[in-house]
Amino acid sequence: MVIPMRFSSFTSTLVLALIVSASAVSSPRLLAEPIGQTQTRQPDAQIQADIQASLKSARFKDVSVSVNNGVVDLSGSVALYAYKEEAEKKAERNKNAASIHNAIRIAGPRLSDEQLQNKLVEKIQYDSVGYGTTAFNAISTSVHEGVVTLGGHAYGPIDKEAAISEAAYMPGVRDVIDNIEVDPVSTMDDRIRIQVARAIYGYPALNRYAIDPVKPIRISVQNGNVTLFGVVDRQMDKDIANIRANGVPGVFSVTNQLKVAGEPPVRE
């Protein structure tokens, strides 16, 4: 009779130990934190001081920082939209900030929307000259009350980011809206791009467009479907470009959105 009693006592002890162990595993606080110690948010004053320290630069000299219950308010002014974005990114690096409210104003020169658009179009057109992708970017630009909207197609992410950067660092820009589509990565599409470019720019009647470094006839390709953008001198050139693109092996379709210089825009 002694042996069963010892076995029963051992079993009860083992069960109790397993229950205590399971409770500890299911309660991470017991393992991670000493009793009576909880994790607290950094004080607002310290968050403010840390963010102000990260903005110690001449371009942020007119920027103010305030913090209330972890919510960071950025106010004041900077010269360029790019600086406004940079200030926000620096504030976001503070892990103790609950959220960021960016009310920084752009205090740079005021330009008319037409002036701003002309400057941006020229800047973006020449941006990728020399990198071999100029003819394959068809990025559109529109400006309304200093707000720039970028659209169209980019050959790759680098081309897209370059266009956004050009807009952000342009004096007079108040905001940048990015609607640029990046064409899909495809070896077949790359082959078609090159062959379409050769077919168009290498054709004697269109050869004069190849001399222009900005490549006025832009070629966008998505899964074998070609779209032509840009401006040509006459309707014949537009028609020839369409025919030449359609003649490239592997092309499924060609959408010709080339505009003829001097013609009024088509109302949709």
Beta bridge partner(s), residue 71: 68, 99
Taking only the tens place, the pLDDT of each residue in 32-47 is 444 444 455 679 999 9
241 vs 196: CA distance, rounded Å:
9
pLDDT of residue 145: 94
Residue 131 has a pLDDT of: 62
Q: Which domains does the chain have, with CATH numbers?
A: 44-106 (3.30.1340.30), 113-182 (3.30.300.130), 187-260 (3.30.1340.30)
What torsion do the CA atoms of 34, 36, 37, 43 make, to the nearest 10 degrees?
180
Alpha-carbon distance 145 to 111, whole Å? 9
The DSSP code for 62 is T
Rounded Cα distance, 180 and 162, in Å: 11
Percent pLDDT > 90 in the chain is 74
Which residues, listed in sequence order, are joined to residue 138 by a DSSP beta bridge?
A: 153
Q: Quick one: which of 227, 231, 191 has its CA closest to 209? A: 231
**What pLDDT sits at residue 265?**
60
Note the pLDDT of residue 167: 96
Over residues 203-207, the mean pLDDT reads: 96
Question: pLDDT, tens digit, for every residue of 225-243?
Answer: 999 999 999 999 999 999 9
Secondary element (H or E) of residue 195? helix 187-201
The whole-model pTM stands at 0.76
Cα–Cα nearest to 182, from 153, 210, 148: 153
Query: Which pLDDT band, with edges at 50, 70 and 90, does 22 fall under?
Result: very low
Of 130 and 202, more confident: 202
Taking residues 184-190, what's their average pLDDT?
Answer: 94
Nearest partner of 166 among 201, 121, 233, 115, judged by Cα? 121
Cβ contact 182:154 at 8 Å: yes
- pLDDT at residue number 41: 63
**pLDDT-derived band at 132, boundaries 50, 70, 90:** low
> 160: which DSSP letter?
H
